[in-house]
Amino acid sequence: MLRFLYRLVSRTEIFTAIAQCTNAEEALPVIGQQKPQLLISDIRMTGMSGLALAEKVRKLSPDIHIVIITGYKSFEYAKTAIDLNIDAFITKPVDQAELRDVLLKIRDACLTKRYTVARSLLERAFLTDDEALFARQLEDLGCLPCRVLMVYYTGDMARLFDCITRIEKRIYWIHYKNSVVFLADQMSSTELFRYICVKFSGAPRQKRTAVCIRLEPAPGAEPTIAGIKDFYRTRLLQSIIPGSFCTCSGTSKVSGDSPETGGDEGLCSQLELSILSRNRQRLMQGLKQLFTLWQEHQVTVACLRKRIHWIIALCEKAGILNTERISLNDRIDEDILCLDSYEEIKCYITGILDENLSMDSPSAAKSDRELFGQIKDLVLQNLEHNYSLQEICGMFHVSQPYVRKTFIRYTGKTYNDFVLDEKIAHAVKLIGSNPAIQVKDLALALGYEQLYFSTVFKKKVGVTPSQYRQSITPADQTGEDRRI
């Protein structure tokens, strides 16, 4: 049986057999020294049984996969299989096709774990600027020569994670600010990056702002953390055009590149006079004219931000700005990247200026507060639903820019960010009240796919749901395997 199993495993070419042992006593020291990923054992051996061996091995190597060969039906060992986390029971005579199927499933589980650990180490290196660890991980993963694709998207990020799920284990990814950095080896990158770009270019009917941009390293050079972050600032942010999808390499010109601000100097001069003369009506009219011109010339978000900073500086100079200029600029810089069109940006900026240059009438403020309260109550009472901004606007018969402006006014956040923060806060409460709750059940309670939920939870809280649960609850109180 021993030689027969060895030959069968070798034929599958899925795992490499590193040792053959005639009994459990011989196997234990080998497992302790060589740390194999998989143990295949007969249930009946001289001395210690296969199940007793599995129990000892599970304590020695908690992550090892175990397959038991038995002359009895597997259901007779169902409880033991659960207690010892045994992957499979295979009945004699061993069928090669059945063994191959079992080995394939175990290989996939090993690859998934390897992928998860590797991505976690890459992300840790990236976030802590550990260049040595980053380079070492890329080399260990066989990701050299490495190519980089950076994706920026204002729509539902679940779409991005749908892409990742389909090509997982072939590509690595890291969250950075409001973008995702994809890393792949040179041979695979062309196919994988094209797949991601196609997913976004043909996506939604409603216009979304998206940029897929490749970082082209110098010949013989590999990407560095500093290089990727600099690329985000100097190339990706300079390529965002509201409501447009752009794809390019780091050295090529983005389709739609235009003169910096579309020749707006004349309108800006008129706007400056309106601000210095404190003429609110002419200021708002001038802003609308500027946005019309900017849209016509497809001016990038980076250029819009510069112009808006200039306008706010003028308002401060004129003494009509009733808030701190730098913090307002920071708020605008963050929020503007979440908006999908020149129209939405225009409504947002006019709302911000309206809020910080003059007071609303009491009746208008009351109307805004009532709408905000009604939408907030609907969301908080139905956290298992994912109400899109479009659905909310349809329910309350208002425009998307109006809802965006209202939420930013009363929460300092966009509608989508508000909903996400509330869902994550609710998840934290659920874990605190029921530490044994599984991640998949948490995700279901919030209307998310498990992968997307775990990722956004970590982005907001700093750790995965499982790690958060471990930090607040001793392991023996959850009663479950934490390896999620």
- Give residue 201's pLDDT band: very low, low, confident or very high (50, 70, 90): low
Q: Architecture of 2-94 per CATH?
A: 3-Layer(aba) Sandwich (3.40)
Angle between helices 415-433 and 450-461 (to 10 degrees): 90
Domain ranges of the chain: 2-94, 113-249, 265-357, 367-484
Fold of domain 367-484: Arc Repressor Mutant, subunit A (1.10.10)
Phi, psi of 481 (to 5 degrees): -70, 130
0.85 exceeded by pTM: no
Burial of 407 (0-12, 13-18, 19+ CB in 10 A): buried
pLDDT digits (tens, 9 = 90+) for 261-300: 668 889 999 998 888 877 888 888 999 999 999 999 989 8
Q: Are the beta carbons of 135 and 126 closer than 8 angstroms? A: no
Candidate CATH numbers 3.40.50, 3.30.70, 2.40.160, 3.30.519; the one for domain 113-249: 3.30.70
Residue with the bigger pLDDT between 2 and 428: it is 428
Lowest mean pLDDT among 368-372, 426-430, 449-453, 473-477: 473-477
Contacts 24+ apart (CB under 8 A), 287-293: 287/311, 287/346, 287/349, 287/350, 287/353, 288/346, 288/350, 290/264, 291/342, 291/343, 291/345, 291/346, 293/262, 293/263, 293/264, 293/267
pLDDT digits (tens, 9 = 90+) for 207-224: 667 788 888 777 778 899
Identical topology for domains 2-94 and 113-249: no
pLDDT digits (tens, 9 = 90+) for 359-391: 344 444 446 788 889 899 999 999 988 888 888
pLDDT digits (tens, 9 = 90+) for 8-64: 787 777 888 888 898 999 999 999 899 999 999 988 888 898 889 999 998 888 889
Average pLDDT of every residue of the chain: 82
* Confidence (pLDDT) at 293: 93
* Confidence (pLDDT) at 158: 63
* Confidence (pLDDT) at 355: 79
* Confidence (pLDDT) at 256: 39
pLDDT digits (tens, 9 = 90+) for 48-74: 988 899 999 988 888 899 999 888 765
pLDDT digits (tens, 9 = 90+) for 143-177: 888 899 998 877 666 666 666 666 666 788 888 88
Pairing of strands 88-91, 65-70: parallel
pLDDT digits (tens, 9 = 90+) for 299-339: 988 899 999 999 999 988 888 888 888 988 988 888 888 78
